[in-house]
Amino acid sequence: MRQRKVKNLETKYAEYEDILVYEPENMKGNWHLRAGELPVYLEIGCGKGKFISEIAQRYPDRFFVAVEGNRSVMLRAMEKIREKNLSNVVFVPEFIDKLTDWFAAEEVSGIYLNFSDPHPKNYTTKKRLTYRDRLKQYFEVLKDDGILTFKTDNTDLFDFTIQEVIACNLKILDITRDLHANDCTDNIETEYEAKFSGLGEKIKRVVLGRGEPRKKENEMAQITSMAAMNGREIPKEDKVFGASSRAKAMAKEKGADAVINATIGSLLDDEGNLIVLSSVNEAVQSLNPAEYAEYAPIAGTPGFKSSVMKAALGNYEPNSYVKVVATPGGTGAIRNTIANYSTPGDKILTHCWHWAPYKSIANEMGRGIEHFDMFDSEGNFNLTDLEYKISKLLRNQEHLVIILNTPANNPTGYSLTEEDWYGVKAILDKVDFDKKVALLIDVAYIDFAGEIDETREFLPIVDNLRSNILPIIAYSASKTFTFYGFRCAAMMCLGHNAEVADEFERVCTFSSRASWSNSPRAPQTVIEHIYDNPELLARVDEERAGYREMLLARGKAFDEEAAKIGLEIVPFSSGFFVSIPTDQPDALCAALEKKGVFLVPLQLGVRVSVASISEEKCRKLPAMIKEAMATLK
C-alpha cells in the first residue's frame, strides 16, 4: 500500500533535526565532518528504512547517508533509526538530480540502489537511476575501490541496467537473477523485496566496480584513447600470432633449422609448408566465376547445408530436428550461440583449459566466462566440478551456454570418452525444467582426432537430452578441408521439436545478418561439389586419413618422450595440440625463445602445436622444455 501523506509533517520532522541534512550541496567535500573517521555509504531511495536501519545496525563502523524525496515515507525510516538508537545515519529529504553537486570525488565508499522506479516508458529512460549518465556520476564520487549495488524485481530494468553498465565500461563483480536461490546471508531485505519475493518474483542483483583507472587531472586535456572499451579487456598483442611473428623473424635471421615454431594451429608438413589436400584444391580450381562471386544465402546454400551435415554427423542418423546455419569459421558459430542463448551479464561455462577467444567473444557481447576444473586429481574429466558450476550458475541465470571443445580439445588434445559423455548427460538430466541450457560442442578438430565413427560416438548421447537442453554443434570445415583462409563452418542444432529447430535457424540467421551478413560462397560450393562426387569424396577422405595418421604419430611421439623424461603434460588423446602445466607460462616461453623454441603461453601452462612441427621435433622438444623449466626454479 502506498504511504499516505503524514499530517503535521513539519512538526514531526522537527524531532529529527539532528539527523537531517537539508542542504547537501553545502556538505560537498565535508561529509567527514559528520562521519568522523568512518567511511561514507549512500542509499538512494531509502523508502521506509528497513534496509538502511538494518545495514547501519550491522555495520556500526560505517556512516550512512539515506536519500528519499518522499518526506512522508522518509519519516518512517527516521523512526526506525531512532528506535534502534543508531547514530551513524543521516537523512537527505530530497530527490537527487546531480550527485556530484552533493559529493566530491572519492568521497563515498559504497552506493546502494534498491528497487528504484523502473520508469517503463521509453521517453523516461533518462530518469532511471541506472541510466549511463547517472552511473558515471556514481563512479565520480566513489573511491577507486568503491562499489555500487543494485537490486530490483523488474527484469526489463535489470536488462537495461546491464546494457548501461557495459556502455560505461564498468566491471561486474557479482550478478544474479535469482538472489534468494543463493546462500545470501549477507543480503538485507527491503520492504519491497520482502513483498515481491513473497509473491514469487525473482530478485535480481548486480554489484559493480570501476572498469578502468580514474583519470588524473593532468590527463584530462590529453586524449589517449578514442575507443569505447565496453567492459572488454583488450591485449596489445595476440599471444599466438605475436609468438609466431617472432619465430618467423628469427628463422629469417638465423635460418629455419635454428627455429622450432610450435605456435600456429595449422597442419604443416615436416618442412614447415602448409598442407592443403590436393583433392580439395582440385575442387577449388574447378569453380566457375558464378560459383564464387555470387552472394550465398545468409544461412548457407541448400547444397552446402546438406553436405556439411553429412560431414559433421558422419554415419549417424539423428532422431532430433536438425537445422544448419553457415558461419565464417567456428568462431561465428560460437558467437551466434552466445548471442542467442544467453543474456547480457550472464556467464558462459567452459573448461579451464580452453581456446582463449572464448573469453574474448563472450566479453565482446557483455558476457563473462566461468571455468570448471577440466581434470580431477587423478587426471579424469572432472564431472564433479562441472556439475557444481552448472548448479551454481543456474541459481543466478535463467539461461546457460556450456562450451565443450572435444574431441581433440584445444589446447590439451583431450577427447571426452563415452563414459565422460554419459556423465555429462546425467548432470544435465538434473537441470530444472524452468532453466534453459545450450550445450555447444565445438568439434573443430574432429576429423583429425580419429576414425569417423569413433570420434562421433557422443552423438547418440547428446541426441537424447531433455527438451530444455539444446545441443549445438560447431563444425569447422576450414580445418577439415584444409582451407583455413576460406573461413567456412556451420552450426547445427539437434532440436527436441520442430519449433525449437526452426527458431534456432531464424535467430542465428538474424544474428549472422547483423554481424557478417553472408558467409563466403566459394567454400560452400566446393564442399557441395565434393559430396556430389563419390569418387572425389573418397579421395578427400583417403588423403585426409593419411595426414591424420601423420598428426597422430607426432602427438604420440611427444607423449612418449615426455613420459620417458618425466615431463608432466595435460591428459592427451589426439589432435593439433599438447599442453604442459606450469605456474610460469610467460617466463617459460621467454626462456625457450632464447633457444629458438616458440610456444604459446596460456593461463595454466604452455601450448605446443604438434600440427606445425615434424615428428622428429616432437621427440626433441620435451627435453628442451623440461630443461628450460628447471632454470626457472
Q: Hey, how many other C-beta atoms are within 10 angstroms of the C-beta on 572?
A: 21
Q: What is the identity of the amino acid at 128?
A: R
Point out the catalytic residue in the list 117, 133, 270, 376.
Answer: 117
Residue carrying C-alpha cell 583433392: 279
Q: What is the identity of the amino acid at 443?
A: V
CA–CA distance, 626 with 633 (Å, rounded to integer) = 11
CB 239 within 8 A of CB 603: no
Instruction: Name beta bridge partners: 171.
Output: 209
SS3 59: coil
User: Count of H helices and E strands in the chain?
Assistant: 22, 19
Spatial neighbors of 468 by CB under 8 A, at least 6 apart, are: 431, 433, 434, 435, 436, 437
| Phi and psi torsions of 601, nearest 5° | -75, 135
CA–CA distance, 322 with 497 (Å, rounded to integer) = 9
Sheet holding 368-372, edge to edge: 321-327, 489-495, 469-476, 436-442, 399-405, 347-351, 368-372
CA–CA distance, 110 with 247 (Å, rounded to integer) = 49
- State the helix-helix crossing angle for 278-285 and 521-532, rounded to 10 degrees: 110
**What helix, strand, coil percent values describe the chain, rounded to 5?**
45, 20, 35
Residue carrying C-alpha cell 615434424: 614
CB 198 within 8 A of CB 153: no
Cα distances from 316 to residues 148, 457, 489, in angstroms, run 52, 9, 19
Stretch (H or E) spanning 350: strand 347-351
Q: What is the identity of the amino acid at 571?
A: P
Spatial neighbors of 624 by CB under 8 A, at least 6 apart, are: 260, 592, 595, 597
What one-character DSSP code corresponds to residue 20?
A: B
Spatial neighbors of 317 by CB under 8 A, at least 6 apart, are: none
Does residue 407 have a cis peptide bond before it, meaning omega lies within 30 degrees of 0? yes
Q: Which residue from 229, 157, 243 is spatially nearest to 192, judged by alpha carbons?
A: 157
117 classed as catalytic: yes
Q: What is the identity of the amino acid at 361?
A: I
Spatial neighbors of 86 by CB under 8 A, at least 6 apart, are: 53, 56, 57
Per-residue 3-state assignment (H helix, E strand, C coil) for 105-168: CCCEEEEEEECCCCCCCHHHHHHCCCCHHHHHHHHHHEEEEEEEEEEECCHHHHHHHHHHHHHC
What positions carry a catalytic annotation?
117
